[in-house]
Amino acid sequence: MIVVFGSLNVDLTVPVTTLPKPGETVLGPGYQMVPGGKGANQALAAARAGAKVAMVGRVGRDGFADVALSELRAGGVDITHVERDEHPTGCAFICVDSSGQNQIVLATGANATALERQVPDEWLTPETVILMQMEVWPAQNWALVARASARGARILLNAAPAGPIPGIALAALDWLIVNETEAVAVAAGLGLGRLEARAAAAAIAGAADITCIVTLGGEGVLAFEPKLSWQVGAMDISPIDTTAAGDAFVGAFAAALVSGAELPEALHRASVAGGLSCLTRGAQTSLPQKSAIEAKLSEIARPRQLEY
């Protein structure tokens, strides 16, 4: 089982020719309103990849709440521990340019009041993967890490958006997933120096004795274990919208882990899922089904072990 503790949002997405610069207004032909939030995106991605998933978080008592929960409900995700709050449902404002790159502003809303005590003790078992991101109050994440670790649950953190991670919390993780910017920020926050992304991920893995995975966009993925590293490529595609590529990767990776896959296989499936998500506009609308992931596995070579 995967238990996702994280954010639920509504995304307002506007296609634009170019992303706005500071002080600039750009025009778009219209907008799309779809459910989003890193927590909800990753929960749905994992469910579509074949896992049993429960979502834990907060939404408001407004009309956006039903939108935020709609795809999770339709996708079979357990939302019984998503609570309503007097704060508004979180909302992201997203511009996507003609090359598929995006610019995002996030209004946190009810996500800031999500509490780790919403996760029942009975869900914190060695058979469970606890999946978290950085769009809820950090102290709640670290409290859940402590509870989950004490009860033997496996813990996966996607450090997005980047923020400080206490050393004791980092050491309790099993897997950390970061992009290049986040890898540099996390390593600097740990006092490991201002390193290039790949070196930063390797340093994090060694310092915390965990597996640190850094996504490299079109260059694929590197995974650093304390004594081993793995590389997997990316699909050869022309991206339409990269908004949820990272979330598709994380969700599919978690789903592979709970199915019993070893790290290389989980990376392989996750890389395919991330690539497929770039071929459809929107966040949750772009997350691929298990059958679609399996149909494209042959388009990326199997991960290879590296020396470092």
At position 286, the amino acid (one-letter code) is: S
Computed over its alpha carbons, how large is the radius of gyration of the chain?
18
Give the catalytic positions in this structure.
247
Closest C-alpha among 36, 29, 30 to residue 7: 36
CB-neighbour burial class of residue 231 (10 A; exposed 0-12, middle 13-18, buried 19+): middle
Closest C-alpha among 214, 218, 251, 219 to residue 229: 214
Whether the ω angle into residue 161 lies within 30 degrees of 0, i.e. cis, is: yes
Cβ-proximal residues to 268 (8 Å cutoff; 6+ apart), any chain: 232, 297, 300, 302, 303
For residue 104, is it left (φ>0), alpha (ψ between -120 and 50) or beta? beta
